[in-house]
Amino acid sequence: MVIDLDKCTGCGACMVSCMSENNVPFKEDESDKKLSITWMRVYKLTNGKSFPEAEIVYLPRPCQHCGGIGDHGHSPCVSVCPATATDYGYDTGIVSQIYTRCFGCRYCMGACPYHARHFNWWDPKWPEGMENYLSPNVSPRMRGVVEKCSFCYHRYQLAREQAIVEDREIEEKEYQTACTTACPAGAIVFGDLNNPAHKVHQIVKPDPHPDPMNHKVVGKSRNPKVFRLLERLGTNPKVYYMSDREWVRKAGDNYLKGEWENVKTHHGASSSHG
């Protein structure tokens, strides 16, 4: 997935689309965002300057579907789950989660630096009659378990069933996440990063080799405008962000004083081995 932060208007359509697609519940007071289940959360970043120089950017944050150090599939959350309630799909690169397996130790939440995982502190409750709009494609969760963005895996499943009966491969447009289809600005692009025919691949141009500057990192973008969140930790997310603004790209990770000047020009290993 690639998100163009310069196109994003922060309208929130992705969040709502996600919540209604995935049967995410809501409470009377959702203003405490640390207790608010939002698989897709839009952060607001500022450049710290004052009006009229002030600038903001909205940063939508789904689950980053990390590949873990060296992209071996040991995502921060997957490797710590004691009950194998979450795992890494080597076929799709999507981090799975079984809500009915999870027993709520919340270790995965602690391990995730993106706060992409949310705990059901309460029993999900819908106002009388509203459970009528719940979708059968995603099972409603119960109190006491962790949940997170699934890249709308059920949409993949449905597309796959159709492809199977029609005896063909899934097409790019057939499997798109709810946030992608909802975005009125077309800021989100979704597809198979490993498939050169897909738009995401063409935008990101992921570098298959480990980054010579940091061997934990694999799949760094060769596009100077594209970056990932906390890439230096070696989580190797599958969500890439894109912006023309340097301060935005810098905000994607942490840098020591003066460090940014050296790294900002370095994109993927393309320079060292094309």
**Of residues 228-247, which lie at the interface with other proteins (CB under 8 A)?**
229-230, 232-235
DSSP 137: T
DSSP 157: H
| Least Cβ distance, residue 271 to other proteins (angstroms) | 20
Which one of 1, 5, 63, 102 is in contact with other proteins (CB under 8 A)? Answer: 102
> Is 271 a residue that touches other proteins (CB under 8 A)?
no
> Is 59 a residue that touches other proteins (CB under 8 A)?
yes
Q: What backbone torsions phi and psi does residue 117 show, to the nearest 5 degrees? A: -105, 140
> Is 44 a residue that touches other proteins (CB under 8 A)?
yes
Which one of 121, 194, 271, 272 is in contact with other proteins (CB under 8 A)? Answer: 121
Q: Which of 266, 165, 151 is nearest to 220 (CA)?
A: 266
> Is 94 a residue that touches other proteins (CB under 8 A)?
yes
Which one of 1, 5, 62, 87 is in contact with other proteins (CB under 8 A)? Answer: 87
Helix (H, G, I), strand (E, B) or coil at 204: helix
Which one of 39, 88, 227, 241 is in contact with other proteins (CB under 8 A)? Answer: 88
Location of structure tokens 């989580």: 235
| Least Cβ distance, residue 263 to other proteins (angstroms) | 9
Helix (H, G, I), strand (E, B) or coil at 215: strand
Q: What is the dihedral of CA 112, 60, 241, 203, to 10 degrees?
A: 120
Which one of 1, 3, 6, 190 is in contact with other proteins (CB under 8 A)? Answer: 6
| Contact by Cβ (8 Å): 89, 70 | no
Which residue lies nearer to other proteins by CB, 57 or 193? 57
* Residues β-bridged to residue 242: 4, 226
